Structure 1
Amino acid sequence: MVKFAQIKGFLFDLDGVIANTSAYHSKAWHQLADELGVTWTEDLGNQLKGVGRMDSLNLILKYGHKENVYTEDEKVKYAEEKNENYLKLLNGLDKSEILPGMEDFIKDLSAHHYLISLASSSKNSPLVLEKLDLRKYFDEKVDPATLKHGKPDPEIYTRAAESLKLKPEECIGLEDASAGVTSINGSGAISVGIGDPTVLKDADINFNNTSEVTLANIEKAMDNKKVLNK
């Protein structure tokens, strides 16, 4: 049974947790799907949340029954094209895109001497944190290029805890996507799901939106849980 007093670190997804950048990713993927002749749907967009670049492209191609149409070199080219579109969209990114309450929450973690690591599948996450003026609060980050497996595999959250020299059981991970929650749970960390609790039903703790995420509310939620078996 994990108690709040045992927690020493926090592991953050980026898109949809810290900032509105998930919308930028969706728009860039939507543009590429149109180019590839794959019909964009809300369901497809949801499947891509928290998933790495090449895995996202493969999901789009599978969704459009085109998984065997392109060579690996062509897939890399299309993934790079998506990233270029995404970076163009990021040009106007600033602190106004930080989701409600998250800047105060991150500052509060830092003030209370919790260690903080970034566990984002996005290779552009350092740039995004810089534009949001939040990079200084993060002690470590996982480079997604070094991972063998993407979410929902637990590798990224296991590595994020290791980067802080902590056990996963001493950490809380925050996610807005079911693949991310599965990743946190597999690592052994406590999972906080932010968003629709019916979609994120496997999270140890649920909040409807980022404005509800505070240290006090997390502590209260953990105390109210009969058992958090990890």
Structure 2
Amino acid sequence: MAKIQGFLFDLHGVIADSWQYHLASWQAIAAELDIPWTTNLAEVLPGMSRLGSLQTILASANRQGAFTPAEMQTITDHENDLYRQYVAAMTPANRLPGVTAFLNELVAAGYPLALASASTNAPAEIERLQLTHIFKHIVPAGSLKASKPAPDVYLAAARLLDLPATACVAFEDTVTGVQSAKRAGCLTVAINADPLPGADAQLPSTAALSLPAVLQALGQPDA
């Protein structure tokens, strides 16, 4: 097992609780499209791309193919506009429990960090969360050819740190995110109360994050 040299973070559900805002935006879109919002949609959308989310919502009502690609783009742009209204209201209070102390711990220990988010809004969110001094390396989402579960975002994040992905620990809270990190070759820590298959280790919530806890969970107490 490679020595751990860097840490890569998903944003939604790992650093901040901003998935609630995407879900609120998508719920509004579903209402506009006269598609019933379901518990299943709320469970499966986190981690999906914007287009994937729209396709999933349409499929839930058997309306695949109801819109042209141009119309789909208009709808996803509308969702993004709704989401940006929520982002504008974000503050450091949106950081998840335990995250601030853990990030400071990693920086104090000298580890380089990168944000591996496929969201084009990530830089704005990090600024609103007042974490720009921590995340100096943010993957430019527009440069990615494929969304999670493809490995692109984690490969790009590792490159920002000039490290091989195999020397990095990735933190994820969704199945698609874990798949993305593992396909890139990262040691992957799932943060979720429910089991996420494929992860190298799992913690129940961000409140459990600490450097000793993560290293122990990965079987690297002396890394």
SS at match of 2:7: strand
Once residues 89 and 7 of structure 1 are traced to their aligned partners in structure 2, the CA distance between those partners, rounded to angstroms, is 35
Aligned to 2:136: 139
SS at match of 1:192: strand
Query: In 1, are the aligned partners of 2:88 and 2:128 still within 8 Å (CA)?
Result: no
Identity over aligned residues, as a percent? 34
2:166 equivalent to 1:169: yes
Give runs of aligned pairs for residues 2-21 of structure 1, distance below 5 A: 2=2, 6-21=3-18
Once residues 70 and 155 of structure 1 are traced to their aligned partners in structure 2, the CA distance between those partners, rounded to angstroms, is 28
Aligned to 1:204: 200
Query: In 1, are the aligned partners of 2:144 and 2:153 still within 8 Å (CA)?
Result: yes
Counterpart of 2:216 (choices 211, 214, 220) is: 220
Once residues 177 and 86 of structure 1 are traced to their aligned partners in structure 2, the CA distance between those partners, rounded to angstroms, is 20
SS at match of 2:171: strand
Aligned to 1:58: 55
Moved over 4 A (4+): none
When residues 224 and 168 of structure 1 are mapped into structure 2, their CA distance, relative to the original with a 3 A threshold, is closer
Q: Which runs of 5+ in 2 are unaligned?
A: none
Once residues 178 and 215 of structure 2 are traced to their aligned partners in structure 1, the CA distance between those partners, rounded to angstroms, is 19
Once residues 18 and 201 of structure 2 are traced to their aligned partners in structure 1, the CA distance between those partners, rounded to angstroms, is 23
Once residues 188 and 91 of structure 1 are traced to their aligned partners in structure 2, the CA distance between those partners, rounded to angstroms, is 34
Query: In 2, are the aligned partners of 1:8 and 1:171 still within 8 Å (CA)?
Result: yes
Aligned to 2:98: 101
Q: State the Cα distance separating 1:79 from its structure 2 match.
A: 0.6
Q: State the Cα distance separating 1:90 from its structure 2 match.
A: 2.3
Counterpart of 1:193 (choices 184, 190, 194) is: 190
Q: State the Cα distance separating 1:107 from its structure 2 match.
A: 1.3
The number of aligned residues is 221
Once residues 206 and 14 of structure 1 are traced to their aligned partners in structure 2, the CA distance between those partners, rounded to angstroms, is 17
Once residues 81 and 41 of structure 1 are traced to their aligned partners in structure 2, the CA distance between those partners, rounded to angstroms, is 21
Q: State the Cα distance separating 1:224 from its structure 2 match.
A: 7.3
Give per-residue Cα distances to partners, 1:175-225, cap 9 Å, x unaligned.
110100010111110011001342x13211100000101101011112279
Query: In 2, are the aligned partners of 1:117 and 1:161 still within 8 Å (CA)?
Result: yes
Q: Which runs of 5+ in 1 are unaligned?
A: 226-230
Aligned to 1:49: 46
Give runs of aligned pairs for residues 63-102 of structure 1, distance below 5 A: 63-102=60-99
Give per-residue Cα distances to partners, 1:87-117, cap 9 Å, x unaligned.
1122321111100010111111111111111
Query: In 2, are the aligned partners of 1:106 and 1:137 still within 8 Å (CA)?
Result: yes
Q: TM-score, normalised by structure 1?
A: 0.92
Give per-residue Cα distances to partners, 1:145-197, cap 9 Å, x unaligned.
11111101111111111111100111000011010001011111001100134
SS at match of 1:173: strand
SS at match of 2:219: helix
Query: In 2, are the aligned partners of 1:10 and 1:115 still within 8 Å (CA)?
Result: yes
Aligned to 2:36: 39
